[in-house]
Structure 1
Amino acid sequence: MPHKAAAPRAMTCWNLGCWTTALEQLRSPQRSCKPTSQLISSVIRHRMLSKRKSETQDIHSLLLCPDPSRRLDRSYTEPQPLGHGGFGQVFRMKHRMSGEVRAIKVIAKPSCLDELQTVSNEVYALLQLDHLNIAKLFEYFEDKGSIYVVTELCEGGNIGELDPMEDDSDEIRLLFRDVARAIAYCHSEGIAHRDLKFDNCLLAHCNDRRLGRMAKVIDFGLAGFLQAGVPGEGELEGVVGTLYFLAPEVLKSTDPLNSYGLECDLWSFGVMLFVVLTNEHPFCSTASGPEDAYRRIANGCLRLSCLRNAGALAIEAEDLLRSLLVKEPLNRCSAAEALVHPWLQPELETPASPSCKPEQLRSLVERISSFSRFSKFEQAILTVAAHEAKPKDVEELQQVFSALDLAQAGWISRDDLRRALKICDVRLSKMETDAVLDCLDADQDGKIQHTDFLAATLKPAHVKSEKVLEELFNFFDFQGTGHITHEDLKAVLGQDLACHVAVQARANAQGVISQENFRAFILKAMNKLELQIQNEKSLAAMMVL
């Protein structure tokens, strides 16, 4: 196969844009738009709180705490433009306190009230998602004109730059599996990305892998929301996304009677895979204009000759592509089915289902039991520390999480954890088992999420490092002023606990806590937790004797 030409890469810029806008105007009456001063953050908060089953404290609720109206320039500096999309411009900026470089997407606020919910999609989706292959949300800001979404920065290029002639074939499979995992996780949460393309599947540096790269999905501005765990329900409407990656059912949804579901993302995934492996689009040539491309994608045949001409293309890859690029969405393979396909099982890394040793699980269960008895403040500290942790710092815990995530869904089911406890001969009473499960699945949705698991199993000693102490201080220092106020604590912990922490952390007469006093308070709290865990272990050992 020849070296990858530039033409397929150009497909990413064929955004429907004005073309579909014109179609919409032909079939929709003109609406009068009034400028809005309503805060998007209030829309996001309302959507999040109305979705949640209980007032649980997890990373999703903690990220809602900072006041979005605080000033961005107090926390970030040195903006450098990275790119511009349909929903806003992206900058590379440095976090003042930590020195960490992050991506900041600037989204202009709409002039129409009925567009508020659409613009809030980016933050609303990221607040719900907690997966290693989805760009992590750190925080967000809002002023009169824009909303600013801060996520981790991925500087390794995008998945469309992979070349079978130059890149390790197993790594290509591994990186596409990363994307498939992200899609499967989103779908399990009832979220369709709806704009999967090369530009939105980025590569990030990853020290845990031999070749040092991991794929992450970004940009949820066009996300659609359905009932979680209900495949085949066509409730999404509107032709949104980038033309060359759109599924036929999306293109045909200009008819108000036609809707579509989560399956549209699998078509886009198949298009990306086809282009990378063959250097061709599966249904139209690089010379096709938008109208011709529309017809070919909606009604044309799969270009089988491209698969044959690819030469070294594995039979498994062709089989996967044929199951993804199916016109009828209900006959298309799901993300969960794609994940277990042989082609997405590379041998580059450690086994896909790492083992979990009985003594290891017993130790983690002891930590989880202790975590369930920690104060709200102590749980918040460990949750933030888990969210901010680098993969190399929690590698062992992530391996256990992966071992317990039997379906590769990005979360652990209650039944899977019960089964693991039984296999590892971890003997707990029904009351103790329920307590462990309730601690890990506080919102009772049957899913143990990644950060919740890390928070409950993280050793308090991890929090005592200077780097983590600094990150914790930065989280509570919402305004980036170099100190923590009573109002900052109140936003996370509530009035009563904020007063308690202020006293224990030796706040001054104005209720302000210095970084030095906050650091000393956290160290004292973590030392207490370590002693508590040790005492519980000793007591358990005595009871066994």
Structure 2
Amino acid sequence: MLSLTEQLKVVHRSESSSFISFPCAVDFGCVEQSQHLPCTGYKPVRINNLILHSTGNINKFYGLQADKLGEGGFGFVVEAKSLSTGNRYAVKKVSKAKAKQKRLEIRSEIDIMKLTDHPNVVKLHETFEDRSQMYLVMELCAGGDLDKHMKGQGGPYSEHQAAILMDQVLKAVSYLHDCKSICHRDLKLQNFLFSRKAPVENNVLKLADFGLACSFEPGGVLATKAGTVSYCSPQVLGGVYDNSADLWSCGVIMYMLLAAQPPFPGKNDAEVAQRVRKGNYVFNDVAWSTVSEEAKNLVRKLLKYQPFDRATAVQARSHAWFQYAAPFLRHAIPVQPSVVSDLLRFSRKTTFQRAALRALAMQLSQEAVDRCSQDFAALDYKGMSFLSLQDLEELLEMPDLEPVHHELRQVVGILYSRPADDNSISFNDFMGATLQQDQCQVGMLRAAFRIFDQDADGCISAQDIKQVFCKSSHDASAEVVSAILAEASMGSSEPLRYQDFSEFVSRSLST
């Protein structure tokens, strides 16, 4: 147990890290040493490097609708349509004047969203900024939030439906905690959105609103009282807590899915907080009379009063209730041989080829992304949307995957040749790897070109390359920049025009 002095030291370290820019993730390398760039001044490119920030007019690229999807203290959310791809997005408009004192928090929200790449987490597509507004262009979830959905059906979910939903809730939390060291701090029904208007069984649930999220250190302590009272753990209300507070919130969510009422009711926040601090709840309502003991057991594990007794997201997902309520969730999904072949080809591509395919994959429609997510799930048996070297090695031990063992071993061999911080496959990697030529429309190519044309002057210059690929404009060697430009333009180091980029992408997809 940490002393108060030690706790305060950790609090200061953890809380101060909540509002700084996060380091970029790492790039998935290739086999041939001659195909990747010199390491001096080189920044591996992941999805967070490809999220464009523009200071231009958002209306040149998106058609914003007048109707509001939601509203908050600093702005509101509207639907928008990309003028190049036709894809629909949700745009969060933030008033700079109203949010003047919260500028760092908004920047932190953007930085954290840039880090995430998971099918059950709402994606940030790009950001804009003008003199009066900031705009966050995000994945549109047209199915509405979980709270409204449950109220619309007039009662609790069946255990089967609740298991489908909780599996996705816990996947998102496990990814944030175990892959990104991010504590969300505001998990609630209203912040889980359905991808589309469809039944629970045929839908995708996504976590949104990272306005209160922060980074944490394993074993560290957080101190800011954040969140919605009815979902807060006793420790959050006390001001000393850790990331297990998110699991308490998961317990509240599961309770509400099965009972359509909160475990800690009250007439106001003060009354609710008093009940939460005591940690006492019951299963004696009529709604619980038909709920299984397995379900109640998992709720108890998530609502353990002491954080060290509380189940982690990984432990919760392995609970017997899921096998009881929705056994198909744990059935192995057949892996298509073509998928592994695509991954092998992708891993052999050059640095710029991989980055271009990732940027292109970011322009896919939501329907295409959801289909890709289903294919990735066959390999992503842990649900992390992230395949480490160890994960791939474990896949090689599975007899069902024997038909693809040969190519999978080659992928593993490639990853073994990379540094320890550069040997994984993300969901964005997978989308880029499985992208097909017939999926690439002109609008998608133009949108991808914009990502690399950082200064929006109509060409990809040496300065643009530095911003996307390099740690800073000061430590990027001319050799690195020239190599990237020469690769894309078949030998020339002149700036790339759109036609050059289009031909380069076409070659990348065909090899």
User: The TM-score by the shorter chain falls in which range?
Assistant: 0.7 to 0.9
Output the CA distance in 2 between the equivalents of 1:82 and 1:226.
31
Is residue 276 of structure 1 aligned with residue 266 of structure 2?
A: no
Q: Is the 8 A contact 1:174 1:345 kept in 2?
A: no
Identify the match of residue 523 of structure 1 among 494, 506, 509. 506
- Distance of 1:198 and 1:351 partners within structure 2: 21
CA distance in 1, matches of 2:62, 2:249: 35
Matched with 1:540 is none
| Stretch moving more, 89-98 or 143-152 | 143-152
Quote how far apart the aligned CAs of 1:205 are: 2.0
Name 1:59's counterpart in structure 2. 47
CA apart distance, 1:246? 1.1
Unaligned runs of at least 5 residues, structure 2:
1-16, 28-41, 470-479
Aligned pair count reads 459
The Cα of 1:335 is off from its aligned counterpart by 0.9
For the residues of structure 2 that align with 1:290 and 1:367, how far apart are their CA atoms? 53
Q: Is the 8 A contact 2:187 2:250 kept in 1?
A: yes
Q: Distance in 2 between matches of 1:148 and 1:178?
A: 28
- Counterpart-to-counterpart distance in 1, 2:382 and 2:506: 38
Please tell me the residue identity of whatever aligns with 1:237.
Answer: A
| 1:237 corresponds to which of 223, 229, 235 | 223
Partner of 2:60: 74
Amino acid at match of 2:87: E
State the partner residue of 1:196: 187
Change (3 A) 1:135 1:381: same
Matched residue type, 1:448 = I
Cα displacement (A) at 1:252? 0.8
- Of 260, 271, 274, 1:295 maps to 274
SS of residue matched to 2:299: helix
Q: Which amino acid aligns with 2:429?
A: D
Against the structure 1 CA distance between its residues 346 and 450, is the aligned structure 2 distance closer, same or farther, given a 3 Å change threshold?
farther
In structure 2, relative to structure 1, the CA distance for the partners of 1:367 and 1:242 (3 Å cut) is same
Shift of the 454–477 alpha-carbon distance from structure 1 to 2, 3 Å rule, reads closer
**Structure 1 counterpart SS, 2:93:** strand
Shift of 1:489: 5.5
SS of 1:47's equivalent in the other structure is coil
Matched, 1:513 2:497: yes
The corresponding residue for 2:14 is none
Question: CA-atom RMSD, angstroms?
Answer: 3.8
Residue 157 (structure 1) shift = 2.0
Read off the aligned partner of 2:247 and give its amino acid letter: L
> Closer, same or farther in 2 for the Cα pair 1:331/1:166, shift >3 Å?
closer
Cα distance, 1:178 vs structure 2: 0.9
The residue identity in structure 2 corresponding to 1:522 is: V
CA contact (8 A) 1:353 1:402 kept: no
After superposing the two structures, state which structure 1 stretch, 424-433 or 367-376, moved more.
424-433
CA contact (8 A) 1:176 1:344 kept: no
Between 114-123 and 262-271, report the one with greater CA deviation. 114-123
Cα distance, 1:497 vs. partner? 5.2
Gaps of 5+ in 1: 1-42, 254-258, 530-545
Deviations 1:246-301 (A, max 9, x none): 11111111xxxxx211111111122122223223221224xx21222221111251
CA deviation map 1:312-347 (0-9, x unaligned): 222222111111112211111111111112333476
Contact 2:64–2:78 under 8 Å retained in 1: no
Please give the secondary structure, in 2, of the residue aligned with 1:93.
Answer: strand
Q: Equivalents in 1 of 2:345, 2:496: separation in Å? A: 30
TM-fit CA distance, 1:56: 1.0
Length-normalised TM-score, structure 1:
0.73
- Give distance in 1, aligned partners of 2:324 and 2:197: 17
Give matches, 1:447-526, under 5 Å: 447-455=424-432, 457-458=433-434, 462-467=436-441, 469-477=442-450, 484-487=458-461, 490=465, 491-492=467-468, 495-496=481-482, 499-500=485-486, 503=489, 513-514=497-498, 518-526=501-509
In structure 2, relative to structure 1, the CA distance for the partners of 1:350 and 1:299 (3 Å cut) is closer
Whether 2:85 is the aligned partner of 1:85: answer no
Which string of whole-angstrom CA distances, capped at 9 and with x for unpartnered residues, describes residues 161-202 of structure 1?
324858664233212211111011111111111011122111
Q: Secondary structure at the match of 2:204?
A: strand
Rounded to whole Å, the distance in 2 between the matches of 1:62 and 1:92 is 22
State the distance in 2 between where 1:277 and 1:388 align. 37
Match of 1:36 in 2: none
Conserved? CA contact 2:89–2:140, under 8 Å: yes
Give the deviation of 1:225 after TM superposition: 0.8
Q: Paired residue for 1:329?
A: 307
Quote how far apart the aligned CAs of 1:355 are.
4.5
Report the secondary structure of 1:91's partner residue: strand
Query: Percent sequence identity over matched residues?
Result: 25
Mark the CA change 1:120 to 1:465 in structure 2 (over 3 Å): closer, same or farther: same
AA aligned to 1:98 is T
Which of 407, 410, 416 is the matching residue for 2:391? 416
Alignment counterpart, residue 361 of structure 2, candidates 386, 403, 406: 386
Distance 1:157 1:336, change over 3 A: same
Residues 161, 201 of structure 2: 8 Å contact kept: yes
SS at match of 1:82: strand
Rounded to whole Å, the distance in 1 between the matches of 2:142 and 2:411 is: 45
